[in-house]
Structures are given as structure tokens and as C-alpha cells.
């Protein structure tokens, strides 16, 4: 079924790219896993239509629990089910799953290392018109700092489905960050997701752009623009932020001489910080960080916001161009 979806969503060679939301892929992955894993349980905080867990609830009502608008309690229930040997996915919007329930995720799930997967949708600026109250831009930081918590931020629907499967098949707590908006599909049916590994989507030796989530597609667009001015960018999709692919990051830094990170998140504590931590000890090179710089988002059209904050293709290209100039000066 994974190969079928990859074929369905594979990028077009001509015309506009196919788009799909990673939350949609999450819902489809749960249906597959529900059939394969009789011990799989899914919890939601009264948002199953938006998080796409509703289909699982309809197919497996005895293993689906709507916990209401009570995210902290949901995490405790998830921990209890996991303590009885169940594999548990707990879902809500990223703002609530990681913000309202952080203590319970830490104390009840991470401390005992229970087999709970927190899959949060509606993360980042692309929540759009809902504004700063719902645009969760600190969740990667909050989850990455918890000992033993694995953090995944898939780039597209193909990778999201594979990442959910990896979370289900690996014991212990995971955080998977998913988007509300439909975004371009960048991976084809031959892609194989591996925990702790990044993927080189485009080669180049002038600058390495390391991105996660929706910014992977933006990084590819930036690389196309940069190539027109003679700058060859290496684009790396880094869905596995914890554990992170330190070897691939180091290789890219040594080959390119500078690194730009791109994330729909605060630049402190997220992907950029994780990459910088690797390079500080392995291969210090000039770096720049594209993301939110100590500010909340605004209410507006999702893609207008991405452009406003310099996180679209032209914005990343401008940041990469300045970084290359600094490297060569």
C-alpha cells in the first residue's frame, strides 16, 4: 500500500506538482497499521476530523478513544494503555499536544519510556488565519529536549506515511510533526525512510541547504533559482531531527563550506540548533538560519506568511546567496 500511495503522489515531470497534506497521510497510515497491528490504539482530543484519525475510529471503534478537550488527560490515558502493552498514537493540534500537555508527555510517557507516539497536526505558520494562538512554532524544541523522545518532521505525504510506520515499528516515545496545508510531494515510490538518516535530494558544492517539513519543497525551489546565477546548492531533507544524521551533515559542511537551515519553526532549539550542535564539534563552517527569529506569527493566508517571513523559495535563495558571499569574502 505504501508503494501504491507513492505512485499516486509521485511528483509530475511536467506542470504543477501534486500536493497533499501530511496529516492526510497520517490518517491513511493509521488505517494500514490498524489492520496489521491488533494492539494499536489511537487517541484524539475531539479533533479527529482535523487530525484525520476519524477513519481509524470508524474502522476500529473498540481501539479508538475520543478523550475530549483534555490533552493532558489524553497523554495520561495513552501512558496507561502503553503500560498494558499497547502501541498508542495520541493526536491533537501541535499547540495543544506539546504546549498544554508538555508535563504529562515528560512525566507519564518519556520518563518511563512508554510506547506512545504523539502525532501532532496543524503545526507552524501554515495554520494561517488561526494566527499566533494556534501557530505552534516551538514544538520541535519542546520535544527535542526531552530525553529519549525521537522527533520526526516529514517533508511530504509520502515521507509522512513512512515516518508514521517507523514510529509504530520502533519501541518507545516519538513526536511526529504534521501540517494542515497541502504541500508539494517531493519523494517518489523508491524512497525509503530510515530513522536517524537524512536524504540528499539535489547535489551541489557551493552551499548546503538542510530543511525539514514544508521547507524541503521550498529549499528545492531555492536551489533552482540559485542555479540560474551559478550557485549549486545541495538540498538535504532532514526529517529525523532526533536522532539526527550527523555524518551526512558533516559531509555536506566539508564539501560545501557553508550550511543554511530552513524550518517552519523558531530558529532556536529546532532543526537549526540541532545541525549547529553537530557542526560545532565536527566541522565548524559559516551557517545561517531561516525560520522564525524570536517572534510569533500573524494571522493571514498560509503562503503569504511563508513569503513574508522569507521562508519561500526566493527567500531561502536570498539567504543562501548572502551566505555564499560571506563564505567567499
Same domain for 10 and 70: yes
- What pLDDT shows up at residue 16? 57
155 shares its domain with 41: yes
Residue 149 shares a structural domain with residue 238: no
Other residues' Cβ atoms within 10 Å of the Cβ of residue 71: 30
The pTM for the full model equals 0.94
108 and 79 Cβ atoms separated by less than 8 Å: yes
3-state DSSP assignment of residue 17? coil
Which of 158, 184, 210 corresponds to the end of one domain? 184
Task: Kindly write down the DSSP assignment for every residue of 50-62, as one continuous string.
Answer: HHT-HHHHHH-GG
- 169 and 219, same structural domain? no
Q: Select from 184, 215, 250 the last residue of a domain.
A: 184
Contact of 279 with 298, CB cutoff 8 Å? no
From the list 71, 159, 215, 263, the catalytic residue is: 71
Confirm if 271 and 140 have CB atoms less than 8 A apart. Answer: yes
In the chain, how many domains are there?
2
71 is catalytic: yes
Enumerate residue ranges in the chain where pLDDT < 50. 1-15
pLDDT value of residue 12: 34
With cell 530558529, the residue in question is 267
Q: 280 and 206: one domain?
A: yes
Same domain, 168 and 271: no
Task: Count CA atoms closer than 13 A to 42's CA, side-chain side.
Answer: 35
What is the rounded CA–CA span in Å between residue 50 and residue 78? 20
Mapped onto helix, strand or coil, the DSSP state of residue 216 is helix
Q: Are residues 68 and 118 in the same domain?
A: yes
Query: For residues 120-143, b (16+ Cβ closer than 10 Å) or e, as one string?
Result: bbbbbbbbbeeeeebbbbbbbbbb
Domain that holds residue 151: 2-184
6 and 153 inside one domain? yes
CATH code where residue 286 lies: 3.40.50.920
Structural domain includes residue 194: no
Angle between helices 22-36 and 2-9 (to 10 degrees): 160
55 and 16 assigned to the same domain: yes
H helices present in 233-312, as ranges = 246-256, 271-282, 302-308
Q: Say whether both 43 and 66 belong to one domain.
A: yes
pLDDT at 24: 97
pLDDT of residue 172: 98
Same domain, 58 and 91: yes
Q: What is the pLDDT of residue 189?
A: 84
The enclosing domain of 109 has a CATH number of: 3.40.50.970
Amino acid at each position: 500500500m505504501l508503494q501504491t500511495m507513492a505512485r499516486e503522489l509521485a511528483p509530475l515531470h511536467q506542470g504543477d506538482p501534486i500536493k497533499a497534506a501530511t496529516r492526510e497521510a497520517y490518517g491513511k497510515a493509521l488505517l494500514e497499521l490498524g489492520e496489521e497491528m491488533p494492539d494499536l490504539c489511537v487517541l484524539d482530543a475531539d479533533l479527529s476530523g482535523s487530525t484525520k484519525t476519524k477513519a481509524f475510529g470508524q474502522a476500529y471503534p473498540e481501539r479508538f478513544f475520543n478523550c475530549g478537550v483534555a490533552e493532558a488527560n489524553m497523554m495520561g490515558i495513552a501512558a496507561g494503555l502503553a503500560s498494558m502493552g499497547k502501541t498508542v498514537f495520541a493526536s491533537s493540534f501541535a499547540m495543544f499536544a506539546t504546549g498544554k500537555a508538555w508535563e504529562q508527555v515528560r512525566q507519564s510517557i518519556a520518563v518511563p519510556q512508554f510506547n506512545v507516539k504523539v502525532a501532532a497536526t496543524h503545526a507552524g505558520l501554515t495554520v494561517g488565519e488561526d494566527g499566533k494562538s494556534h501557530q505552534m512554532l516551538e514544538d520541535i524544541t519542546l520535544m527535542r529536549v526531552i530525553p529519549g523522545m525521537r522527533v520526526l518532521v516529514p517533508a511530504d505525504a509520502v515521507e509522512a506515511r513512512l515516518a508514521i510506520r517507523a514510529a509504530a515499528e520502533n519501541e518507545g516515545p516519538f513526536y511526529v510533526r504534521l501540517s494542515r496545508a497541502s504541500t508539494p510531494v517531493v519523494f517518489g515510490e523508491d524512497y525509503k525512510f530510515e530513522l536517524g538518516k537524512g536524504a540528499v535530494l539535489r547535489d551541489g558544492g557551493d552551499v548546503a541547504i538542510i530543511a525539514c517539513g514544508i521547507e524541503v519543497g521550498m529549499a528545492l525551489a531555492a536551489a533552482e533559482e540559485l542555479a540560474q546565477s551559478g550557485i549549486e546548492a545541495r538540498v538535504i531533507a532532514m526529517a529525523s531531527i532526533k536522532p539526527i544524521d550527523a555524518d551526512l551533515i558533516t559531509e555536506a559542511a566539508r564539501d560545501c563550506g557553508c550550511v543554511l537551515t530552513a524550518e517552519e519553526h523558531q530558529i532556536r532549539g529546532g532543526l537549526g540548533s540541532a545541525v549547529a550542535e553537530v557542526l560545532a564539534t565536527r566541522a565548524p563552517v559559516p551557517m545561517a538560519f531561516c525560520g522564525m527569529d524570536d517572534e510569533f506569527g500573524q494571522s493571514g493566508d498560509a503562503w503569504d506568511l511563508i513569503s513574508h517571513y522569507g521562508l519561500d523559495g526566493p527567500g531561502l535563495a536570498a539567504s543562501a546567496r548572502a551566505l555564499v558571499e560571506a563564505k567567499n569574502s
